[in-house]
């Protein structure tokens, strides 16, 4: 039985500054491209048979530089792996949101508000994550499956793999250019590696 290799895209201008980047389609910075290139030798050591990638360019470019479009792996764009729609909080940092509200704010406790886009609830993101997991579970019989996407959606997907509520994604910070491993122990879903960097 294979494992899920969940990969967060490399650094962008907004991930560096702490701005919430949902549907805004930003490119990788040069440092982000370096992050992605460092993933290649690590991923090449695994038995990855399939990869699913967010349609946003920061994830697609990360997957490309990490070698997941080289023909060895069956790779598909997966719309359900797009980042959380932050609605009215798109492009803002957590301190900026808190200043607007006059109180502390957390995505995990307080959610989003409508803006140029409607925003999403954690439950809505969890529904997307559940669809991805339903699609990939049968593929794990043949080897590892890579998911290349974004911080918050991957944290929620991890919580759902572990049979936790989407709010439990708060427990699994995932830095840019890092990856985690979702596997099993005695047939029980388990976190087998997390927030691992590459040399």
Question: What local confidence, expressed as pLDDT, does residue 72 receive?
Answer: 74
Is 44 annotated in the active site? no
User: pLDDT exceeding 70 applies to what percent of the chain?
Assistant: 99
* Domain 4-85+120-196, CATH homologous superfamily name and number: Phosphoglycerate mutase-like (3.40.50.1240)
Query: pLDDT tier at 12 (50, 70, 90 boundaries)?
Result: very high
Query: pLDDT tier at 73 (50, 70, 90 boundaries)?
Result: confident
Supply the mean pLDDT for the chain.
96
Q: What is the DSSP string of 101-161?
A: HTS---HHHH--B-SSS----HHHHHHHHHHHHHHHGGGGGSSEEEEEE-HHHHHHHHHHH
Q: How far apart are CA 87 and CA 69, in angstroms?
A: 31
3, 9, 50, 152: the catalytic one is: 9
Q: What is the pLDDT of residues 86-113, one digit of tens each?
A: 999 999 999 999 999 999 999 999 999 9
3, 78, 83, 120: the catalytic one is: 83
User: What would the two tokens of residue 120 be?
Assistant: 């999403």
Q: Does residue 153 have a pLDDT over 70?
A: yes
Q: Please, are residues 53 and 76 in contact by the beta-carbon 8 Å criterion?
A: yes
Is 9 annotated in the active site? yes
Task: Average the pLDDT over 7-30 and give the result.
Answer: 97
Question: What local confidence, expressed as pLDDT, does residue 199 receive?
Answer: 60
Q: Does residue 197 have a pLDDT over 90?
A: no
* Higher pLDDT among residues 148 and 198, named by residue: 148
Query: pLDDT tier at 126 (50, 70, 90 boundaries)?
Result: very high
Find the length of the chain: 199
Name the residue among 191, 129, 153 with its Cα closest to residue 3.
Answer: 191
User: pLDDT exceeding 90 applies to what percent of the chain?
Assistant: 94
pTM of the model: 0.96
Q: Please, are residues 15 and 38 in contact by the beta-carbon 8 Å criterion?
A: no
Question: What local confidence, expressed as pLDDT, does residue 109 receive?
Answer: 96
Q: Please, are residues 193 and 181 in contact by the beta-carbon 8 Å criterion?
A: yes
Q: Which residues contact 128 (CB under 8 A, 6 or more apart)?
A: 80, 81, 82, 153
Q: How far apart are CA 43 and CA 74, in angstroms?
A: 14
């Amino acid at each position: 039985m294979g494992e899920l290799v969940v990969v967060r895209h490399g650094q962008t201008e907004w991930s560096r500054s702490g701005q919430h980047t949902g549907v805004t389609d930003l490119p990788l910075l040069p440092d982000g491209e370096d992050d992605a290139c460092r993933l290649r030798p690590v991923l090449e050591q695994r038995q990855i048979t399939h990869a699913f990638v967010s349609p946003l360019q920061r994830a697609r470019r990360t997957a490309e530089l990490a070698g997941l479009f080289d023909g060895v792996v069956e790779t598909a764009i997966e719309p359900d792996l797009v980042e959380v729609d932050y609605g009215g909080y798109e492009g803002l940092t957590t301190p900026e949101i808190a200043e607007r509200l006059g109180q502390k704010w957390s995505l995990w406790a307080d959610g989003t508000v409508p803006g140029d886009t409607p925003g999403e609830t954690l439950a809505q993101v969890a529904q997307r994550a559940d669809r991805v997991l339903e699609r990939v579970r049968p593929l794990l019989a043949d080897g590892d499956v890579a998911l290349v996407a974004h911080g918050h959606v991957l944290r929620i997907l991890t919580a759902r793999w572990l049979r936790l509520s989407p709010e439990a994604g708060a427990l699994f910070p995932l830095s840019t250019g890092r990856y985690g491993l979702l596997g099993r122990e005695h047939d029980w879903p388990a976190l087998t590696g997390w927030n691992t960097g590459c040399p």
